Chain A
Amino acid sequence: MNVFRLLGDVSHLVAIIILFLKIFRSKSCAGISGKSQVLFALVFTTRYLDLFTSFISIYNTVMKVVFLVLSYATVYLIYLRFRSSYDSESDTFRVEFLLVPVAGLSFLENYDFTPIEILWTFSIYLESVAILPQLFMITKTGEAESITTHYLFFLGLYRALYLANWVWRYHTEGFFDQIAVVSGVVQTIFYCDFFYLYVTKVLKGNSKLTLP
């Protein structure tokens, strides 16, 4: 474990908690893409299949359970508990355009042609594009509540910190996970435009992010 990966995991946890609390306390999921949240729940499900078969550490197990529980709870809030506030007209990204290529690529480019490894690879590729429905929804509505932008900031920051973690592990352990690194770079690039808007608009104190 190194400080970059720890900060990355904390940033990821903060993002997921911010979103869950925003929906739970405001009793509304306006402006939130339910499709992205379903994709994230699928990412955790296909990545953490080894939750019961291999024990890494208490930390690893607890974080996996927390991510799984919170992501499914968020999907429940959006599609069941507060479904009347779900803006399905704006959440129109065709996720099949993500799932099919990601599934195909995970069969082509993986470390081992075994179910666990292919599903893990699928989760890595899927995570790099899972935020696209949410970013697409914001460009479509032209705005986002500031709490939603804070969620996106910490979510984007988490994988950027993981990139630093991989640089660190390469230099200290010679560890290099090509599939995770390439996907992580792609994932972080998708946030760059948002990061610019977040720094120049939201941090200037605007109550919400409105796209130019």
Chain B
Amino acid sequence: MDNPRKKDEL
């Protein structure tokens, strides 16, 4: 899966 994570969520 392509990584959609924006890593801004806790």
Contacts and interface: CB of A to CB of B under 8 A. Distances in A.
Q: Interface of chain B, helix or strand or loop or mixed?
A: loop
Interface stretch (A83-91, A147-155, A172-180): A172-180
A12 B4 contact: no
B8 to A, nearest CB: 5
A111 B8 contact: no
A110 B2 CA distance: 9
Contact of A56 (B1, B2, B8): B8
Interface in B1-10: 1-10
A67 B1 CA distance: 29
Contacts of B4: 111, 175-178
Nearest to B3: A111
Interface residues of A, number: 25
Contact of B10 (A9, A54, A111, A117): A9
Contact of A5 (B2, B3, B9): B9
A26 interface: no
Contacts of B3: 111-112, 117
Contacts of B8: 1, 56-57, 60
B9 A180 contact: yes
Contacts of B7: 50, 54, 56
B9 A111 contact: no
A129 B5 CA distance: 21
A81 interface: no
18 contacts: A12-B10, A54-B7, A56-B8, A60-B10, A64-B10, A111-B2, A111-B3, A111-B4, A111-B5, A117-B3, A117-B5, A120-B5, A175-B4, A175-B6, A177-B5, A178-B1, A179-B1, A180-B9
